[in-house]
Amino acid sequence: MNNIVILISGSGSNMAAIARAAQKEAWQDKFGARVAAVFSNQADAPGLALAQRLGIANATLSHRDFASREAFDAALMARIDAHAPQLVVLAGFMRILSPAFVRHYAGRLINIHPSLLPAFTGLNTHQRALDAGCGVAGATVHQVTAELDHGAILAQAVVPVLPGDSADTLAARVLTQEHLIFPRAVREFFEGQGWGRDQCA
């Protein structure tokens, strides 16, 4: 079985988009792929209840229970590896991962970032795009490396920045595209077609 493990910290909407695409597109029949588990570092993450409703095993592992980032990551790796994942997906997981974690899942660890990388790495991407006067914004699926938001780009989607946009309205427009490109990038991994840049306006 080609197991997918998804890490979240919040609403889990991208996790749900992937899980629903897997069900709708019969990934298990086509690729032997399924979302096996969802983990969150936040016990109150709404995405945990969403995973439960979708019938996906889920659990919390709080980083606050560990003395160091490395100790938390080691414990998280043990939880993840219990599911023998082919792919580990960061879907709104708000933790910077240790180099050991990234090395352990090299080539099978992906993230989605709410900007058109390499622009606006890090946080507050939508407000920064507005402050810079950008005419477009978007989202990027990328491989995870030790350098934050700098891994190889796997997919991108572009949305217009509209007059009167706030960070919230722009974020909502970008999120609709995240829900399209993230499942597609995961599916392409299992289709064996390889990953490349895929930009759509």
Count Cβ atoms within 10 A of the Cβ of residue 62 and give its class: 0-12 exposed, 13-18 middle, 19 or more buried: exposed
Catalytically annotated residue among 63, 83, 104, 113: 113
Query: Does 113 qualify as catalytic in the annotation?
Result: yes
User: Are residues 146 and 195 both part of a single domain?
Assistant: yes
Q: Are strands 85-90 and 57-60 parallel, antiparallel or unpaired?
A: unpaired
Least reliable range by pLDDT among 12-16, 43-47, 187-191:
187-191
Is pLDDT at 57 greater than 70 in this prediction? Answer: yes
Instruction: Tell which of 105, 139, 173 closes a domain.
Output: 105
Provide the number of structural domains found in the chain. Answer: 2
Q: What pLDDT band is residue 196 in, cutting at 50, 70 and 90?
A: very low
Task: Check residue 147 and give its pLDDT.
Answer: 87
φ, ψ dihedrals at 187, nearest 5°: -60, -40
Q: Residue 192: pLDDT band by 50, 70, 90 thresholds?
A: confident
In this prediction, residue 154 has a pLDDT band, given cuts at 50, 70 and 90, of very high
Range of the domain at 98: 1-105
89, 22: one domain = yes
Q: pLDDT tier at 3 (50, 70, 90 boundaries)? A: very high
On whether both 26 and 100 belong to a single domain, the answer is yes
CA distances from 187 to 30, 76, 99, 104 (A): 10, 24, 26, 22
